[in-house]
Structure 1
Amino acid sequence: MSTAPALTVDDVTITSDHGKRLHAVVPDAAARLIYAASKEGIDPEARGMFFESARHPADSWVAAAVRTVFEAVIASPLAADDVHAYGTRFYRDFNGGTLYGFIVGVSAWDAANRRLRTGDSTRDLIIVSNATIATNDRRSLAGTCTFTI
């Protein structure tokens, strides 16, 4: 993943669906890499209610990309109205937190209708797992990135 292009705040569009859930729309190439990272370490045959991905190092591409998404969310006026924005406010205040929203590739977002485009062609562009950056008080884990589903 280190050869992936850097994701910038300008690459991220923050929007919401009709249910006022935040969606961070990113380039498809970035979404595919984030999707793959969100599934790392989770048994594809696992059944149950709570799973956490492999922990991605703080200096990894995916951790940097998720921090960029957090920065875009924090800068968005939509986040002020989001009841789940406390997760990203933790990031602003403590350098770690959770995005209670979706990260989606541009091809998986129907901007005109404010909804996801689902199906086989967009399956790897929709990250439904909550992205988390560990706070600085986690010492050796600080800055690492996981996804929970």
Structure 2
Amino acid sequence: MTAADLIAAQVTITLDQWDRAVVLLPDDVAARLAVSSRTGVKNYGYGHFESRVFGVDTYETRAIRTIFEAVLSMHPDDQGLAQYERFGTGYFYGWTVGVSGWDSTARTWRNYDATKHLHVDGLHLEHDGRSHFGS
């Protein structure tokens, strides 16, 4: 069975305590993307890594496009997304997390260690339309 695609109505954009954009997703979507973001990881040095590449028409790439559109609608000046609007490529390094992993009142993680399975690593769309996760 294939999971239904993420739709804009399922994406909530909020701000952390430093007023940076945070993407909140349904927990099942975040958990799936978190696993994908840690699949086939290649390390490129301290703090820099990249997951395997996902094809143009994969669940992951379609989800990233939906997330980018949601972030742009709320925060059009977010770093990395201006090029998405113009060229269809870009990145988002803000937090992406399942809704139960975020404390909206405190504007920070809810029980960080216990919700790591809901933390999605950096989102990237490549020039050829494929995607990957990483820093």
Q: TM-score, normalised by structure 1?
A: 0.83
- Where do 5+ consecutive residues of structure 2 fail to align? none
2:14 alignment partner AA: T
Structure with greater helix share of residues: 1
Alpha-carbon shift at residue 19 of structure 1 (Å): 1.2
Give matches, 1:1-149, under 5 Å: 3-42=2-41, 48-76=46-74, 79-80=75-76, 85-127=78-120, 129-135=121-127, 142-149=128-135
1:131 alignment partner AA: L
CA distance in 2, matches of 1:21, 1:124: 22
- Where do 5+ consecutive residues of structure 1 fail to align? 136-141
Spell out, residue by residue over 1:37-85, the C-alpha distance to the aligned partner (whole angstroms, 9 max, x if none): 11011269x9733111100111000110011000000111xx14x6xx1
CA distance in 2, matches of 1:29, 1:5: 11
Please tell me the root mean square deviation across aligned C-alpha atoms, in Å: 2.0
Q: How many residue pairs are counted as aligned between the two chains?
A: 135
Q: Percent identity?
A: 33
Alpha-carbon shift at residue 118 of structure 1 (Å): 3.0
SS in 1 for 2:80: helix
SS in 1 for 2:49: coil
Q: TM-score, normalised by structure 2?
A: 0.91
Alpha-carbon shift at residue 113 of structure 1 (Å): 1.4
2:57 alignment partner AA: D
CA distance in 1, matches of 2:42, 2:9: 34
CA distance in 1, matches of 2:60, 2:112: 24
